[in-house]
Structure 1
């Protein structure tokens, strides 16, 4: 199970044995299975018993094997398999050969799961396509919206850097990707030129785990099991269509809802698969930019689209009257305009604030203190020289801690120090520095720190 893809018939036989063990009595006589297997394998928070689906756990183990091949390029297994089935050496893009072995086919199943749920941390940007590689986010698969201009089809992320320097060229970003500037500036590439690295997006560490892989594989198999066979046309009233009606299905995943979101005048456009849920996507829906001619200067359009979807669903079920996707969008825009027009803002009285002395920029902060012993007339003197700097577009406190330590290490190198001990109150940062697999958000920063650390005679992090 951990190395080869099991036949579907064998998975069904194992599942049948588990079902009979759960429902039959000790005498061996068959009893009725009162709850469907598709409900028993759901997580407990979704009303299931968290039974393991055989086919899903098999795919999760295959994905783990594929992850090992990705993470260990010098391993004997990788060199043998890629030498036979992928002469180009690129495991992530190699096609299925004409006569693959059963083992290789299973590895490719795991690879496809990895590719659908992995993203890239920007290092030197040399191997990342701006339009094809998911590099804009470390929490979800995201890349710039196309289509790409003809003269920029082969644009690499490295082309967005300043010449001979791994820092963002804001002029080029404003020229080619103006709508993605904020997201790009939140990314911190490696200043030392570390290679780009792939990360698993479903775990905080960026490393693949069988638990998160199983959750993804289970969603895929449940979606396939719920799709009605032999029914090319989707009838929303049957959602009634053989599919269980849930909040996520009603508002995001059914065919009619997808048509509504696709035609919504927002940017970026919404196109949802069966793996996203409304709770995690809510902030993204409410922050999308409204396009003309909606006439909405403030407020979000998403709540009104959800409200009109619910009303259209009720109208179809109880009145047998349906609406088109265009009509739903028109009613949502009209309701949003009506709401905005009837909001009366009460002016807020401003209070005078006490004037504070603002520290001047580019100043070195020096703090001093002393301790004195009256009995011995001895004094202990201490001072700290701080170089203050600020950074915009920092995505999290963890990234801020990493940037601060990177500047400290670089400054110690400039001062000519050879034996240094660095201390930090950020446990996650220290673990990332002392482990072989840093977190995705810290990849470029940790690579730079380790590169500079080679210049010291003795260095430690705690």
Structure 2
């Protein structure tokens, strides 16, 4: 395979792979070249960090080759540029390096003090960025993806029973999710770029090797999967088939790939193509409106999805009465709107910002804001910020009463909402808030 393309070595910075035949003469010539290089330049191979890998060599010849080189015998898989190299399909255990790196990164962060919104941001920017390099080279097995999800889930939530499935977090915000990446879809989008490079016959050593070894006189659109193909090639052919089904013909598929990857953000466009979307949720713009603080928006998002863990949703709870009034079962509608305590706070907030008190359910609240307070004026922004802040502080007060025994001070909570609105919008009196 290497001889026809004259591949004698691969080198990147100080990572060097040398290839030769599995006989004493070839290995002796290789060692002589290394010794001449050391004499000329003064750089020698580090015997403790160098290994020799052999295949189909009997024990006598193997022992002789080890004596000639002075290297230790290595075993596959080994790492090159951070990626495990193997002669057969990688096992889940071969991805331990990636999983351990993710685990170490997670445990270094202050899980308790970070808000859920902050955790979601770290998962998006850091954790899912670390495996991006691997997924652009290898098809990740579902078992590895599940373990990555478990690591992220354990960091994201403080309970062993998360209020919402991880697959829902991976939905775009428009569909009611958090916009985290679905790793299996992201993996396909990254490998689709590899497929485009192969069909475009880009002038790189690996692309030339694929065409010489696999495609030969055919192209990627007519290549038939064989039993001995590598897992990467098999995955690329599955991606090819799905693109062909969606496009209708090889020429249309080529145009689709070119439209993705000849422009910026091509992988993102490929991700959108492979994503199995749902209709957008009508409340999304209300929940994620820009003036709303991220931690407040996250709590509001959980409320909009109906997933805040109130007592009515916890079957193991014997006491399901509202912690504030102790008169009715603690449902979402009762806790946030129908309880005497919270209804007084809503009326007070509505009077303060001149809103209509038409909110008796969380769905009705979101519908009211979408219908009446959609403008971009200061008054409309103040109402959105106050609404999200009140939901956030009510939920925090409920948890403080349940877990710490701290009773709710209505006046203090309302004042916190007011101060937050003033600081967020940079206003100093109620007259400015009611303009527009």
**TM-score normalised per structure 2:** 0.30
Q: Which has the higher contact order (CA 8 A, sep 6+)?
A: 1
Asked which structure has the greater CA Rg, the reply is: 2
Specify which structure has the higher proportion of helix: 2
**TM-score normalised per structure 1:** 0.28
Specify which structure has the higher proportion of strand: 1
